[in-house]
Structure 1
Amino acid sequence: MNHGVMKRLACSVGAAVLLTGALSACVGPLIVGGAMVGGSMVATDRRTSGAQLDDEAIELRAASQIRSNLGTRVRVSVTSYNRQVLLTGEVPNLQDKQRVEQVVKAVDSVASVVNELAVLNSPSLMDRSSDALLTGRIKAMLLDTSDLQSNAFKVVTERNTTYLMGRVTQREADRATEVVRATPGVQKVVRIFEIISEQELKNMDTVPSGMQPAAPKPAGV
């Protein structure tokens, strides 16, 4: 692995363990019961500026509501992309899994929720560190893939399962999935994409970042 990739990997892993605002180059997530929440806005983001702000607010509000309603007995990671929310982590029972989803659906601006919470004991710190390292490795792989825009993808890893989110074309979705599946350590890939056409992508490239027209509600793929 060359020096550039190692540097990008270190940045990605740092973002997985540091609180929001701790770094300017790789903004870290918020923690809810030991889980990761959130991601940074980037210059080439395909979301509108309003959607980016909504996603940041959704993650913060959802984290607060989960903490208020369920305390620390759950470990929930909240990831919002274009107002679609992915829930990952662990809860002690099915009732808590459903309760977390209800709480998040009630948060302002949430369009839909993909509930991937597992009913089991929380993983060890070593397991969580392994997931963070794997996420960093995947981001580095996407960054070094010449036919993909790595910033178009949001990557979340839980228990060696990698979740991919973003507004991408079918070609990009398939290519990214191929790259991630080939990454050592990945056991499963779950795609939660909003598929756009090649023409839509071309149109995005002609307008400033964050100024894209509002998109319809995301749909999982």
Structure 2
Amino acid sequence: MFSPAPDTGRSGGSGSRPPRYRGRRPTTAGRPTTIDDPSLPATPGPVGGARPDDAPRLLADGAHAGDISPADPEPAEHRRFAGHLRALEAVADADEVTLVASVLRDPDRGMASSAVGRHVDRRAAALLTGPRFTDWSAALADACAGDDFLVRRLREWTLLDTVARGEPWSADEVTGASDWFQRTVATTPVPTSPEALRLLAERGRTRRVRHAADHRLRQGAPPRLP
């Protein structure tokens, strides 16, 4: 599995800028970690078997009881954000859509979208080009309908999958995609096509993308799937 390019907060087309949630992960080794975008998070610690009937408790508590003291000054939405990440990390495949929909009903819509965005990136990177990707992305798109950022992110993961498989795509789709999509194609080891790299080397939105795509072409792009 590869790691997609991180979001920088610079927009590339309507709806491409991720929701920014400036919260804090639970303190690790005495040092809190700041969260400022929904790119893939550090791997959370192991969490045992979240079930659909756990969702209301996880969403209400935001964290396991042992994680929070009565005097903890951290805002409730920060605890809920951490709880959402843990629940999404642990959820069984069969319960994923139900949990995503539950998270997106959180009253803090920006925070909920950021948590689900992290989950989408992690899961899509793991499933990309596999036999389950298409059904998974379609199911998640239904659960995320109404959130413009998540809908676009899933659409661009689907375009990455299409390019990697050598299925038909258009130049307008690639050149009109977000900065995140173009950086992911140009700078990460995702399987892709020389045609997509040549297009980005010539018409990528930023100098960084154009340079990276040209460099990847010269180095030899990982082949798309047969």
More strand as a share of residues: 1
TM-score by length of 1: 0.28
TM-score by length of 2: 0.27
Higher relative contact order (CA 8 A, sep 6+): 2
